[in-house]
Amino acid sequence: MDEEKLIEVVVPPNKEKQRLDTFLTQVLGSVSRSRVQKVIAAGKVTVNGTPAKASHLVAPLEKIAVCVPRPQRADVLPENIPLNILYEDEHLLVLNKPAGLVVHPAFGNWSGTLVNALLHHCVDLSGIGSRQRPGIVHRLDKDTSGLMVVAKNDFTHQHLSKQFSEKQTEREYWALAWGHFKKKRGQISTYLARSPKDRTRIAVRPEGKLAITHFEVIEKLALLTLVKLKLETGRTHQIRVHLSHISHPVFGDLAYGGRNRQFGALSNQQRQLAAELLEIMSRQALHAKTLGFLHPVKNEYLRFDSELPDDMKQLLARLRKEPA
């Protein structure tokens, strides 16, 4: 298969002057502006037979030739890993990710990831997410379960990414958090950045990016609270850091105090119950339960809801046997 495809465009006779990169982004539709700029910088775009710059102002009837690199398949091997797919068409798919499954390959996890599974399941995926992250529009932490949407082409990827960045998607998480909340509902707003002490963790830092999480208590339980959370922003580890910040860390969350922080204030009987609960929950009790978005091609609003995973169900069943 050819590594490039040639696209030829004639500027309309009534076209006003416009930057070449902007014009091509509009004409090509499924190719991002940054990708167009890279193609131009590589000398793959000519105007009337001469290589052009991104800043060139197109004029009526100019003949533009573009050699667009075909999306490269990720250098990650397909693997036959079962997927729990809730919806699929030729443009995208929605799946329920189990806890323990890493989303994309990275140092220490070059196989056994969601991307490996997707490459086995799908004939093609969008290339925007890089060679290690084809089709990945958004991600969930390894030990967070729940709903994800995956793009099968660049056009779908761009439009879904725009919805996420412009806060047009619906994302609802359920978590079991330590302690009992003073308020039924509220908002957590901080600035988040990498921790200077541990680069694998996120911390509340004044120089960070704004992060906003809305919470609502669903059920008060023994030691814990079942809480619903909606993201207004989508920062790394946002919910986990925010709940820890207000002294209600996600139960079982090793990185942010969910496995040990509360033990000092517990009675012996409560300690025994907490230890039993931690045996059930080997990860953070966090699940991406609801996902809604506008289908980029069909222009239909799609909304999906998923059941809580077995470990969270088991945790709830045990907690409901105890007085709150």
Please give the domain boundaries of the chain with CATH numbers for all domains.
Answer: 4-69 (3.10.290.10), 72-166 (3.30.2350.10), 172-288+314-319 (3.30.2350.10)
Q: pLDDT tens digits for 154-199?
A: 889 889 999 998 889 999 999 999 999 999 999 999 999 988 888 7
| Bridge partners of residue 260, in order along the sequence | none
Check the CA dihedral 275-279-282-283 and report its sign: negative
CA dist 179 and 243 (Å) reads 11
* Per-residue confidence band for 87, with pLDDT thresholds at 50, 70 and 90: very high
Query: Is residue 1's pLDDT more than 50?
Result: no
Place of tokens 């077995």: 310
User: Comparing 123 with 231, which gets the higher pLDDT?
Assistant: 231
Q: What is the pLDDT of residue 73?
A: 47
- pLDDT surpasses 90 at 68: no
Burial 257-292 (b: 16+ CB within 10 A, else e): bbbebbeeeeeeeeeebbeebbebbebbbbbbbbbb
Residue 34 is predicted with a pLDDT of 78
* Residues forming beta bridges with residue 136, ordered by sequence position: 150
CA distance 122 to 138: 18
- Answer yes or no: is pLDDT of 153 > 60: yes
**154 is annotated as an active-site residue:** no
Q: Which of 251, 261, 262, 259 has the alpha carbon at shortest distance from 318?
A: 251
Confidence at residue 135, expressed as pLDDT on a 0 to 100 scale: 82
The fraction of the chain above a pLDDT of 90, given in percent, is 62
User: Of 2, 21, 89, 141, which is the active-site residue?
Assistant: 141
